[in-house]
Amino acid sequence: MSAAPPRIDAHIHGFPDRLAAAVRGRLQRDGQLTAGYLLADVATAIKTQGFDGAWLLPYAHRAGVAESVNEWCAAEAARYPWLTAGATFHPDDPDLGRLVRRALTGLRLAVVKLHCSVGGFSPDDARLAPLWELAQERGVPVVMHAGQRGPGETAPDELEPLVPVLRAYPRLPLILAHTGYPSHARALELMAAHANLYGDLTPVWDRHVPITAAEFQRFPGRLLFGSDAPNNPTPAATQATRLERLGLDTAMLAEILGGTAARLVARN
């Protein structure tokens, strides 16, 4: 019998200190966020929350941020070998192709995060083509928060720009953050139609993605646990317990809680 897969939180955030403080300041509501937000705290919390590893996902709100954040992510996360350091990009960045090559080939960052509402762009922005091409070639998963208008939620029509990307890059592993919550029903339809679309189960603040046990069974190896630490009021361990109580079979649960994430980054 093979060993159980590692437990991996596939959606946590880390930024250089000043940027981390700015992000936290925007998200803080009535003191509900209590976890430390500096990288050392975030990295340590992974272990205390019962996980073996995590994907550290930065994001860029405008041009001129991604390059230094990616360098920071590669250098700092190397101190914490259980973290999989991520890259981010913004379509306004001039010479995006160079930034993509540096991050994915030079720094070997193993996952990418794009945040459409924070960055104010559409998933099908044509300027992102250099990213899609190299991510597909190297098998690097791209986590995308597709909603553009609201701060955390995604409307059904905001999922449609994913379709041309999924069609044009059929071997690109594209992970839809929050499984498009509250448009998760449409997101699951898109997952059924496109084998390269995945969903993460990261809650939007205190609202979890209400996928049923039967729906989980339809998408083995396609749904990933994510906590949004340190930007979520519910600790990762508590979020994981909720999933563990859904009555999923052991193998399915192990896939969600880390097996799928481990496999996606093992390719590159």
Cis peptide before 233 (omega within 30 of 0): no
Question: Is the Cβ–Cβ distance between 162 and 123 less than 8 Å?
Answer: yes
Site stretch for Zn ion (CB under 5 A), options 17-25, 136-144, 226-234, 247-255: 226-234
Is there a contact between 78 and 39 (Cβ–Cβ < 8 Å)?
no
CB 139 within 8 A of CB 162: no
Nearer to Zn ion, 158 or 228 (CB): 228
Q: Tell me which stretch binds Zn ion (CB under 5 A): 45-53, 79-87, 206-214, 227-235.
A: 227-235
Pick between residue 88 and residue 196 the one whose CB is nearest to Zn ion: 88
Q: In the window 16-75, what residues touch Zn ion (CB under 5 A)?
A: none
CB of 179 to Zn ion, least distance (A): 13
What spatial distance separates the first Cα and last Cα of the chain, rounded to whole Å? 26
Least Å distance, CB 227 to Zn ion, is: 9
Contacts of 3 (CB under 8 A, 6+ apart): none
Size of the site for Zn ion (CB under 5 A): 1
76 binding Zn ion? (CB under 5 A): no
Closer of 76 and 228 to Zn ion (Cβ): 228
Per CB under 5 A, the segment of 70-78, 222-230, 234-242, 245-253 that binds Zn ion is 222-230
- Which of 92, 50, 31 has the alpha carbon at shortest distance from 67? 92
In angstroms, give the least distance from the CB of 215 to Zn ion. Answer: 22
Q: Is 228 in the site for Zn ion (CB under 5 A)?
A: yes
Q: Which tokens go with 9?
A: 């939180």
Nearer to Zn ion, 93 or 228 (CB): 228
| Tokens 């930024």, residue located | 15
11 vs 134, beta carbon nearer Zn ion: 11
- Position of minimal CB gap to Zn ion: 228
> Do 187 and 200 touch, CB atoms closer than 8 A?
no
Chain position carrying tokens 């969600």: 256
Contact 211, 252 (CB under 8 A): no
What would the x/- binding string for Zn ion be over residues 181 to 220, using CB under 5 A? Answer: ----------------------------------------
Integer-rounded Cα Rg, in Å, for the chain is 17
Instruction: From 23-31, 66-74, 154-162, 225-233, give the range in contact with Zn ion by CB under 5 A.
Output: 225-233
Shortest separation between residue 109's beta carbon and Zn ion, angstroms: 17
CB contact at 8 A, 64 and 89: no
Instruction: Write out the residues near Zn ion by the rule CB under 5 A.
Output: 228
